């Protein structure tokens, strides 16, 4: 028994003032709980809303798995788990864009809208990764390209074709669309702050006192769980009206 115990891997100790480790742990547990909630509630809704709820569960489940690894990576190495974070984002952010298409599909949205948003999100993430890891000396340039892709997404959902379809649908669909738009405009704006806190550029000294990982972790929890709750509320409202 003693040899078995000594052979088991030890859990890395997290200091009481390690706010990065704390937010990794809380984020992991919160998104795991959210994933379970969305998966278990799927059968409560009409078939046309189940895919949206399923995607919400996938977003939070994928994030929870990555946060499990990122939490341990931080605890052992004391370094930002940038690779794991971007693998998480390259899977979950396009799925968040898919949510826009799924809630507008009932109002006649075409798949071209979905692919447009997915492509823009991939450009936003790939250029952000390049600026944060590969070409840190040109982080400002890559961050600018990433930011342009982000603002094109904002334009599309607030003023472009997605907004037009949502306005024509009205009711609960319009309300849910607007709420998701606010998450993108305000919630996603958290990430550029984290990017500037962790890369060199003209913004040195403005955000240097912030922890990049704490900013990213808070942003992930707010946006991924929040997106799912908006979709869940739409499904509840639409189902009760029907």
CATH assignment at residue 113:
1.20.1070.10
d(Cα 120, Cα 126) in Å, to the nearest integer?
A: 10
Tally of structural domains, the chain: 1
Q: Are 236 and 41 in contact (CB under 8 A)?
A: no
Query: What is residue 124's predicted lDDT score, i.e. its pLDDT?
Result: 96
d(Cα 155, Cα 25) in Å, to the nearest integer?
A: 34
Query: What is residue 10's predicted lDDT score, i.e. its pLDDT?
Result: 52
- Residues 143-152 have a mean pLDDT of 95
pLDDT 10s digits, 56-73:
999 999 999 999 999 889
Predicted model pTM? 0.89
Q: What's the whole-number average pLDDT of the chain?
A: 88
Measured CA angle at 103 (ends 232, 125), to 5 deg:
95
Work out the burial of residue 222: count CB atoms within 10 Å of its CB; fewer than 13 is exposed, 13-18 middle, 19 or more buried.
middle
Buried b (16+ CB within 10 A) or exposed e, 103-125: bbbebebeeebbebbbebbbbbb
Which residues, in sequence order, are CB contacts of 70 under 8 Å at separation 6+?
A: 24, 81, 84, 85, 88
Query: What is residue 34's predicted lDDT score, i.e. its pLDDT?
Result: 96
Query: What is residue 209's predicted lDDT score, i.e. its pLDDT?
Result: 66
- Residues 92-98 have a mean pLDDT of 95
Residue span of the structural domain in which 48 resides = 2-241
Confidence of residue 242 (pLDDT cuts 50, 70, 90): low
Measured CA angle at 10 (ends 217, 70), to 5 deg:
20
């Amino acid at each position: 028994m003693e040899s078995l115990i000594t052979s088991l891997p030890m859990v890395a100790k997290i200091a009481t003032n390690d706010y990065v480790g704390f937010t990794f742990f809380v984020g992991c547990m919160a998104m795991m709980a959210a994933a379970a909630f969305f998966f278990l509630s799927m059968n409560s809704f009409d078939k046309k809303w189940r895919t949206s709820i399923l995607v919400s569960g996938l977003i939070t489940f994928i994030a929870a798995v990555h946060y499990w690894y990122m939490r341990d990576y931080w605890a052992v190495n004391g370094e930002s788990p940038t690779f794991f974070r971007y693998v998480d984002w390259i899977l979950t952010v396009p799925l968040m864009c898919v949510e826009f298409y799924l809630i507008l599909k009932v109002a006649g949205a075409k798949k071209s809208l979905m692919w447009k948003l997915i492509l823009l999100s991939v450009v936003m993430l790939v250029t952000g990764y390049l600026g944060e890891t590969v070409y840190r000396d040109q982080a400002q340039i890559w961050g600018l390209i990433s930011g342009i892709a982000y603002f094109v997404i904002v334009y599309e959902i607030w003023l472009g074709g997605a907004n037009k379809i949502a306005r024509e649908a009205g009711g609960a669909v319009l309300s849910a669309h607007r709420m998701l738009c606010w998450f993108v405009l305000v919630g996603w704006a958290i990430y550029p702050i984290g990017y500037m806190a962790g890369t060199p550029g003209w913004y040195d000294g403005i955000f240097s006192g912030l922890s990049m990982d704490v900013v990213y972790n808070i942003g992930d929890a707010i946006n991924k769980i929040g997106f799912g709750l908006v979709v869940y509320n739409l499904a509840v409202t639409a189902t009760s009206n029907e």
